[in-house]
């Protein structure tokens, strides 16, 4: 890892009696696409707002490229933000919105226009400069907000759930575009989202937030394949978590274990595997989810690709006796109560 | 009530007949009488109204210097009150909408509204006591208080109409997403610049909406100026004097058309800003 673009040291934030961020240490490398993933209320947006300077930490430090900026105002920091509601100025045209930061920094008029046009072209909005934000669609506004931030060439771009208001198709398209833009401009992106697909698809590394703390930091693959806590196992993708009596009976040893639904295989006839009964069959287009009640007393979800199965056959599966098999290497041992440690 | 269900026009008539009757007869009717009588005169000998069309009243108002001065002074007072209210209301409304906690915001709105529950006369007389010779304000300014007169009138009118300016601006600011202010700061603008380039342009309609109240209320006032204005004469006094002592109703009507005309011009001028949607 090269020189850290962002360093958070013992960062805390309380709102009255509520502790939103309970002590966070993170290093985000230069040029990294870094996601902060977590459910609402887990503190990820508050951390982003402290990096931007909108909130003052209760304790701890924020460093940007080695410089302590904890107490600096937003206009004194070399970061720009893409807001969840885009926050485009409604009384200014699109090009004036994009120019705003350059105008404030007294970039000469002609150069300003040029750079703003360039930024608009980079988000494929050339020719839209004279429109008002309200005359544009959600996806277009989102790209204007992106251009308005990128045109200032900040060291760090902060994105606060920028795709949250878009519909699924557009969101998937923007995910690809954002990743491309980040690779092209090469600046550090800090991306806040509650959508695990989004975080896994785009990021170099992901920090999973749980109740004001970072539960785990790692590459998407690490976080998905080797979740460190039951919370991470449950929040990033779906997991079948086995604890206590059920774990003892299935694995023959104590502990907490997680198996991803797609790693399980459903056997209708056969002797090997753990026995159970199909409680529910949910057809979901490309895949089918089987909910299986194990005789050992746990409920497991199995995901199977719909390569052969037809819907008629699926209906008959409900209530059938089955056996579940998996490879030992796909069993994840998660330590319980990681937060208490 | 199925009759109403089957006949939407009947439903509409039942809903609107009373307010429409009021609007046409009481409201527009009075305005029409005012306009028509402004073109009549009074027989100087018998004191009876002569119902013949003449422009004599308006000729007098335009040519006689006294009336021109009073009209201009009234405009000046209304404009000053509006500017003072705007300057005081902007930071106050901004604090209420964007700085204060939601709980204290609630109390602040109540605090702004309570003076409106008190009688106008009581408030004006309270100021008469404050502004009296050797009164509290004189004492505060070491004997150099403004005393009764034009300045006192402007101060008291600004005090009376301030809530009407604060409330629309507060409403406008509250509708404005806070993220716009953050975005401006994020893009490098200091607070002063954010105020000039983001806040102010976005609340111009609210500002105009408030000014419609402060301006028209000041322009028509004649009580405050009687209580704290000393010898100052405004349009309202002239109307009052011509109805009472001078018994010249047509001339009073002619003077009364001036504020109406001014307000119509003002409304047309600010209409384009979207202020009328803010009322």
- B140 inside domain: yes
Pairing type for strands A33-37 and A188-193 reads parallel
* Structure-token pair, residue A6: 């962002």
Q: In whole angstroms, what is the distance from residue B5 CA to residue A110 CA? A: 64
Which of B183, B188, B193 is closest, CB to CB, to A87? B183
Residue B176 contacts A where some CB pair is shorter than 8 Å: no
Nearest to A125 by CA among A160, A102, A85, A94: A94
With H, G, I as helix, E, B as strand and everything else as coil, classify residue A188.
strand
**Nearest chain B residue (CA) to A75:** B188
- CATH code for position B239: 1.10.3720.10
Q: Is a pLDDT exceeding 80 seen at residue A340?
A: no
- State the total domains in chain B: 1
Where b means 16+ CB within 10 Å and e means fewer, A323-337 reads bbebeeeebbebeee
Averaged pLDDT for residues A274-283:
90
On chain A, the residues whose CB falls within 8 A of the CB of B180 are 87, 89
Average pLDDT value for chain B: 89
Q: Are the C-beta atoms of A188 and A219 separated by less than 8 Å?
A: no
What is the C-alpha to C-alpha distance for residues B73 and B218, in angstroms, rounded to an integer? 11
Residue B37 in any domain: the answer is no
B236: pLDDT strictly greater than 60? yes
CA dihedral B203, B207, B212, B217 (to 10 degrees): 150
Q: How far apart are CA A119 and CA A148, in angstroms?
A: 8
Closest CA to A331 of A274, A246, A251, A273: A251
Return the domain boundaries, chain A.
4-234, 238-265+273-340
Q: Residue A1: what pLDDT?
A: 42
> From the list A81, A84, A91, which residue is nearest B186 (CB)?
A81
User: In Å, how far are A47, A294, A322, B243 from A269, measured between CA atoms?
Assistant: 52, 16, 7, 106
- Quick one: pLDDT at residue A334? 81
| Partner residue facing B179 (CB), from A87, A101, A152 | A87
The pLDDT, as a whole number, for residue B115 is 87
Q: What is the pLDDT of residues A101-155, one digit of tens each?
A: 999 999 999 999 999 999 999 888 989 999 999 999 988 999 999 999 999 999 9
Closest residue in A to B180 (Cα–Cα):
A87
What's the rounded Cα separation, in Å, for the pair A26 and A192? 14
B188 and A152: CB-CB below 8 Å? yes
Report the gap between the CA of B203 and the closest CA in chain A (Å).
11
Element (H, E) at A324: strand A321-325
- Give the ranges where A123-209 is alpha helix by DSSP (H): 138-150, 168-185, 196-202
C-alpha neighbours within 13 Å on the C-beta side of residue A174? 23
Q: Is residue B31 part of a domain?
A: no
- ipTM (interface pTM): 0.85
CA distance to partner chain B, nearest, from residue A84 (Å):
9
Amino acid A339: pLDDT: 42
B177, B185, B202: residue with CB nearest A91:
B202
Q: What tokens appear for A2 in the block?
A: 């090269």
Residues 6 or more apart from A45 whose CB is under 8 A from it?
A160, A161, A192
Residue from A18, A55, A75 to probe the interface with B (highest B Cβ count within 10 Å):
A75
Q: Give me the count of residues in chain B.
A: 279
User: For chain A, what is the mean pLDDT?
Assistant: 89
Structure tokens at B223: 């009580």
For residue A249, name the pLDDT band (cuts at 50, 70, 90).
Answer: confident
The pLDDT tens digits of the residues spanning A150-177 come to: 999 999 999 999 988 888 888 888 898 8
Region B149-169 average pLDDT: 95
pLDDT of amino acid A241: 85
pLDDT range class, residue A221, cuts 50, 70, 90: very high
Question: Residue B223: enclosing H or E segment and its boundaries?
Answer: helix B223-228
Contact residues for B256 (Cβ-Cβ < 8 A; gap 6+): B34, B38, B235, B239
Distances from the Cα of A33 to the Cαs of A268, B175, B215, in angstroms?
Answer: 44, 34, 56
Quickly tell me which residue has 């069309």 as its tokens.
B53
Confidence label for A244 from pLDDT (cuts 50, 70 and 90): confident
- Per-residue confidence band for A312, with pLDDT thresholds at 50, 70 and 90: low
Q: How confident is the model at residue A76 (pLDDT cuts 50, 70, 90)?
A: very high
Contact (CB<8Å) A85/B179: yes
Residue A180, min C-alpha distance to chain B (Å): 23
Confidence band (pLDDT; 50, 70, 90) for B278? low
- Best of A81, A119, A153 to disrupt the B interface (most B CBs within 10 Å) is A81
Q: Which of A78, A82, A152 is nearest to A112 (CA)?
A: A152
Q: Which residues does B162 contact at the CB level (< 8 Å), separation at least 6?
A: B85, B88, B89
For A280, phi then psi, to 5°, come to: -150, 145
This prediction has a pTM of: 0.82
Whether residue A338 is predicted with pLDDT greater than 50 in this model: the reply is no
Query: Residue B1's pLDDT band (boundaries 50, 70, 90)?
Result: low
We find that the CATH architecture of domain A4-234 is 3-Layer(aba) Sandwich (3.40)
pLDDT value of position B23? 87
Give pLDDT, residue A273.
85
- Touching B: A residues 138-157, CB under 8 Å: 148-149, 152
Which residue on chain A is closest to B178 by alpha carbon?
A: A87
| Angle, helix A168-185 to helix A138-150, in steps of 10 degrees | 20
Distance CA A49, CA A66 (A): 19
Q: Is residue B41 part of a domain?
A: no
Given pLDDT bands bounded at 50, 70 and 90, which one contains residue A3? low
Work out the minimum CA distance from A149 to partner chain B, whole angstroms.
7
In whole angstroms, what is the distance from residue B103 CA to residue A158 CA? Answer: 31
H/E run at residue B155 = helix B150-175
pLDDT at A217 over 80: yes
A79 touches chain B (CB under 8 A): yes
Does the beta-carbon distance from B182 to A148 stay under 8 Å? no
Average pLDDT estimate for B232-240:
89
pLDDT band with cut points at 50, 70 and 90 for residue A341: very low
- How near does any CA of chain B get to the CA of A23, in Å? 25
A115 interaction partners in chain B (CB closer than 8 Å): none
Tens of pLDDT, residues B249-274: 889 999 999 998 999 998 888 887 77
Q: How many CA atoms within 13 Å lie on the side-chain side of B261?
A: 12
CB contact under 8 A, A81 and B202: no
d(C-alpha A292, C-alpha A77), whole Å: 53
CA dist., res. A188 & res. A48, Å (int): 13
């Amino acid at each position: 890892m090269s020189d850290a673009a962002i360093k958070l040291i013992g960062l805390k934030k309380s709102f009255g009696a509520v502790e939103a961020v309970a002590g966070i240490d993170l290093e985000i490398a230069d040029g990294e696409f870094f996601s902060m993933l977590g459910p609402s209320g887990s503190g990820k947006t508050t951390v982003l707002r402290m990096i931007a300077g909108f909130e003052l930490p209760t304790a701890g430090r924020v460093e940007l490229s080695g410089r302590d900026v904890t107490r600096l105002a937003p206009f004194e920091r070399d970061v720009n933000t893409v807001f969840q509601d885009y926050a485009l100025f409604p009384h200014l045209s699109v090009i004036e919105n994009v120019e705003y930061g350059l105008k404030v920094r007294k970039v000469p008029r002609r150069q300003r226009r040029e750079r703003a046009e360039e930024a608009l072209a980079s988000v494929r909005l050339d020719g839209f400069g004279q429109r008002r934000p309200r005359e544009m669609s959600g996806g277009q506004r989102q790209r204007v907000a992106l251009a308005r931030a990128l045109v200032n060439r900040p060291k760090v771009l902060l994105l606060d759930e920028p795709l949250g208001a878009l519909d699924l198709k557009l969101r998937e398209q923007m995910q690809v575009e954002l990743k491309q833009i980040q690779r092209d401009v090469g600046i550090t992106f800090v991306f806040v989202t509650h959508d695990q697909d989004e975080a896994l698809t785009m990021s170099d590394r992901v920090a999973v937030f749980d109740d004001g703390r970072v539960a785990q930091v790692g590459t998407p693959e690490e976080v998905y394949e080797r979740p460190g806590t039951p919370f991470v196992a449950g929040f990033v993708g779906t997991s079948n978590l086995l604890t206590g009596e059920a774990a003892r009976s299935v694995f023959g040893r104590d502990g907490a274990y997680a198996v991803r639904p797609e790693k399980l295989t459903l056997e209708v006839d056969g002797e090997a595997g753990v026995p159970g009964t199909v409680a529910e069959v949910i057809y979901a287009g490309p895949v089918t989810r089987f909910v299986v009640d194990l005789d050992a007393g746990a409920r497991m979800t199995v995901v199977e690709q719909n390569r052969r199965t037809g819907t008629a056959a699926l209906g008959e599966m409900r209530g059938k006796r089955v056996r579940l098999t998996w490879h030992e290497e796909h069993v994840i041992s998660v330590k319980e109560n990681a937060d208490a440690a | 009530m199925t009759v109403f269900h089957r006949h939407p026009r009947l439903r509409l008539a039942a809903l609107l007949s009373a307010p429409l009757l009021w609007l046409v007869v009481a409201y527009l009717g009075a305005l029409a009488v005012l306009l028509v009588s402004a073109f009549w005169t009074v027989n100087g000998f018998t004191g009876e109204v002569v119902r013949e069309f003449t422009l004599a009243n308006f000729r007098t108002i335009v040519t006689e210097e006294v009336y021109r001065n009073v009209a201009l002074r009234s405009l000046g007072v209304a404009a000053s009150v509006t500017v003072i209210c705007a300057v005081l209301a902007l930071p106050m409304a901004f604090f209420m909408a964007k700085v204060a906690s939601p709980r204290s915001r609630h109390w602040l709105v109540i605090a702004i509204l309570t003076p409106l529950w008190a009688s106008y006369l009581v408030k004006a007389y309270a100021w008469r006591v404050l502004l009296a010779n050797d009164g509290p304000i004189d004492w505060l300014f070491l004997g150099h208080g403004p005393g009764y007169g034009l300045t006192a009138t402007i101060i008291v009118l600004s005090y009376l109409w301030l809530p009407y300016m604060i409330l629309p601006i507060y409403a406008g600011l509250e509708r404005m997403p806070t993220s716009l202010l953050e975005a401006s700061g994020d893009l490098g603008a200091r607070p002063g610049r954010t105020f000039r380039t983001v806040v102010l342009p976005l609340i111009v309609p609210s500002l105009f909406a408030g000014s419609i109240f402060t301006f028209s209320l000041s322009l028509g006032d004649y009580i405050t100026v009687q209580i704290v204005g000393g010898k100052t004469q405004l349009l309202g006094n002239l109307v009052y004097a011509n109805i009472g002592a001078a018994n010249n109703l047509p001339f009073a009507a002619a003077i009364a058309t001036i504020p109406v005309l001014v307000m119509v011009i003002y409304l047309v001028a600010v209409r384009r800003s979207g202020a009328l949607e803010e009322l």
